[in-house]
């Protein structure tokens, strides 16, 4: 049932018509995105309607976006029981999280599936510079056979979930979590075969760290937001332009992950270090 039908006569019709059709499910928690300030005023009514309309939901989170370096969500529980901590299963990976405290981008599923399918990771050492709760590291650790996956995460809340998720997925033999800035963690680990840079809006500022940590012949996966009308060449050029002196790289792949709002796209540019 469409939860919006339950809101007829409960919220102003103009607000009701602009409510999102889709509600995200993370485990037994429903997340409804209310970017619109007026809709946010009716978040409790919306939450009750979602709770009634969507089967198997324990509580409802109203969500407005993410903010800051930690990518912290702006959101709260508006209906149902308990807090919003839940276990969400995606591609056979168990992610424990609380969507009012840490982000979860369902739109990154396509990239997670690609990682889970890449033989490149078998036997490889990996450095996930912006690990979060294990968004990208866990599909690699669960579905491939890496030698080791070093994870850096700066936000203590996300780090706590990362440690918990390593345990939940029984990959403690390969995943090594660090709480701290990836620039400092880089000084504590050996050179690796693959670096994952799963950050957006500022990733290129960390390219020197990634390139100094990946072996010659190894790969760096750079995530960033680009104008959607930029072709592969222009996108690759932007990343190549940020490569610091002393390094030489080749772009081996440019791929889309998801749309990132009007006119923008989240892409991965994959590099091989040549020198
Ligand atoms: C956008 S999230 C990861 C998103 C993820 N790639 C996905 O698939 O959903 C980026 C994470 O990087 C962390 N972070 C930001 N700056 C950092 C830094 N300098 N070192 C380590 N972690 C950092 C943030 O706390 C956040 O948890």
pLDDT value at residue 66: 87
Are 115 and 70 within one domain?
no
Residue 130 and residue 57 share a domain: no
Q: Is the domain of 59 the same as that of 112?
A: no
Residue 41, domain extent: 3-84
259 with 166, same domain: the answer is yes
Determine the distance separating the centroid of ligand 1 and the alpha carbon of 45, expressed in angstroms: 33
How many whole angstroms separate alpha carbon 29 and alpha carbon 32? 10
Write down the pLDDT at residue 10.
Answer: 97
Q: Is 153 in the pocket of ligand 1 (CB under 6 A)?
A: yes
Q: For residues 69 and 200, state if they share a domain.
A: no
Q: Are 242 and 132 members of one domain?
A: yes
Q: What are the per-10-residue average pLDDT scores of the chain (275 residues)?
A: 96 96 96 93 97 96 91 94 96 98 94 98 98 98 98 97 98 98 98 97 97 98 98 98 97 97 96 97
Report pLDDT for 129: 98
**Domain co-membership, 115 together with 201:** yes
Number of domains present in the structure of the chain: 2
pLDDT at 84: 97
The answer to whether the CB of 210 is under 6 A from ligand 1 is: no
pLDDT at 196: 98
> Does 181 contact ligand 1 (Cβ within 6 A)?
yes
Is any atom of ligand 1 closer than 6 Å to the C-beta of 258? no
Q: What is the pLDDT of residue 71?
A: 87
Position 96 in a domain: no
Q: Does ligand 1 lie within 6 Å of residue 196's CB atom?
A: no
Question: Is 150 inside a domain boundary?
Answer: yes
pTM: 0.95
Give the per-residue pLDDT at 1.
86
Report if residue 72 sits inside a domain. yes
Q: Please tell me whether residues 80 and 118 are part of one structural domain.
A: no
**Residue 55, pLDDT score:** 95
Ligand 1 pocket member 113 (CB < 6 A): no
Q: Are residues 78 and 112 both part of a single domain?
A: no
Q: How far is the CA of 71 from the centre of ligand 1 (A)?
A: 7
Atom of ligand 1 nearest to the CA of 136: 8
Is residue 38 a part of any domain in this protein? yes
CATH number where 212 lies:
3.40.50.150
CB 60 near ligand 1, within 6 Å: no
- Find the CATH number of the domain harbouring 79: 3.30.300.110
- For residue 90, report the distance from its CA to the centre of ligand 1, in Å: 19
Q: Whose CA is nearest to atom 16 of ligand 1?
A: 69
Rounded to the nearest whole angstrom, what is the distance from the C-alpha of residue 135 to the centroid of ligand 1?
10
- Residue 176 resides in a domain: yes
Q: For residue 30, is it within any domain?
A: yes
Q: Whose CA is nearest to atom 6 of ligand 1?
A: 198
Whether 108 is in the pocket of ligand 1, judged by its Cβ within 6 Å, is yes
pLDDT value of position 246: 95
Give me the pLDDT at residue 69, please: 87
Residues 36 and 127 in one domain: no
């Amino acid at each position: 049932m469409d939860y919006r039908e339950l809101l007829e006569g409960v919220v102003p019709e103009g607000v009701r018509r602009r409510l999102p059709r889709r509600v995200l499910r993370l485990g037994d928690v429903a997340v409804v995105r209310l970017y619109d300030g007026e809709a946010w005023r009716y978040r409790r009514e919306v939450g009750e309607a979602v709770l009634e309309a969507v089967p198997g939901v324990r509580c409802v989170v109203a969500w407005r976006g993410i903010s800051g370096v930690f990518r912290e969500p702006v959101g709260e529980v508006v209906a149902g029981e308990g807090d919003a901590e839940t276990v969400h299963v995606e591609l056979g990976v168990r992610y424990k999280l609380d969507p009012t405290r840490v982000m979860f981008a369902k739109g990154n599923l396509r990239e997670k599936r690609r990682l889970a399918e890449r033989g490149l990771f078998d036997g490889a050492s990996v450095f996930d510079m912006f690990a979060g709760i294990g968004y990208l590291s866990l599909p690699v650790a669960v579905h491939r056979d890496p030698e080791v996956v070093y994870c850096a995460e700066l936000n203590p809340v996300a780090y706590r979930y990362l440690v918990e998720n390593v345990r939940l997925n029984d990959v403690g033999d390969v995943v090594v979590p660090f709480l701290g800035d990836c620039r400092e963690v880089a000084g504590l680990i050996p050179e690796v075969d693959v670096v994952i840079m799963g950050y957006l809006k500022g990733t290129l500022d960390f390219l020197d760290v990634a390139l100094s940590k990946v072996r010659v012949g190894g790969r760096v996966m750079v995530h960033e937001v680009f104008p959607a009308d930029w072709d592969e060449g222009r996108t690759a050029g932007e990343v190549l332009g940020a490569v610091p002196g002393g390094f030489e790289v080749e772009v081996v792949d440019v791929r889309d992950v998801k749309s990132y709002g009007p006119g923008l796209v989240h892409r991965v540019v994959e590099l091989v270090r040549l020198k």
